[in-house]
A and B are shown apart, each in its own frame.
Chain A
């Protein structure tokens, strides 16, 4: 199993601030996904990045895949309380995903 490390583990910010979450591995992935999970629910896919160096934007969220396809970042601009949740990255290998431990993001109003 390939290890994915996410940092920071916890992040608490004020509404309107920006934040960045990191996902790093020593292994190369064919693709990498970001999920968001709210308390009491299953993870929901936010984005899939496939190409090294790829940048994808979803409204205030920007996702980047490293050139070597070993790392990724998620940047949120002007965070809102609705962005609160557990953010998980997952790397694809064969038929399976390997998940990082997640970053718990709290956005205070």
Chain B
């Protein structure tokens, strides 16, 4: 099993550009999450999904969009990149039920200049 995979690993964007961060999991997990991690700030939830076709906002959704057309994939879209979106982005997934153990991908380091 590959677990949770994310692409790209690194990306530099210019202000105003758009991009999609890809996330795929092969564990048949229902729930998927997008977080951003800034130095000294822990992980902040951007969006989450409890199943295909269902998404909801987290703590910091502004400037981002998501879709969940399949169980496996949960892409994160940045429409008009801003320097404030410079961060490390993590995708995670978990099974429904249980005690919310989440499995994380390796992250995407994004710089907006």
Contacts and interface: CB of A to CB of B under 8 A. Distances in A.
Interface of A: 1, 4, 9, 30-31, 33, 40-45, 48, 50, 88, 90, 92, 95-97, 99-102
Given A95-B48, A96-B45, A42 B105 contact: yes
Contacts of B90: 42-43
Given A1-B59, A88-B42, A102-B42, A31 B100 contact: yes
The 6 closest A-B pairs by CB, nearest first: A42-B104, A101-B42, A99-B43, A99-B42, A31-B99, A92-B100
Nearest to B60: A1
A109 B41 CA distance: 28
B74 interface: no
Contacts of A100: 42
Contact of A101 (B4, B40, B102): B40
A50 B99 contact: yes
Nearest to A88: B42
B66 interface: no
Contacts of B102: 45, 97
B75 interface: no
A24 B105 CA distance: 27
Contacts of B58: 96
Given A45-B102, A88-B43, A95-B50, 15 more contacts: A9-B40, A30-B99, A31-B99, A31-B100, A42-B4, A42-B104, A42-B107, A43-B43, A45-B101, A95-B31, A95-B48, A96-B45, A97-B102, A100-B42, A102-B42
A37 to B, nearest CB: 8
Contacts of B99: 30-31, 33, 48, 50, 92
15 contacts: A31-B99, A31-B100, A33-B99, A41-B107, A42-B4, A42-B107, A43-B104, A92-B100, A95-B31, A95-B48, A96-B48, A97-B102, A99-B44, A100-B42, A102-B42
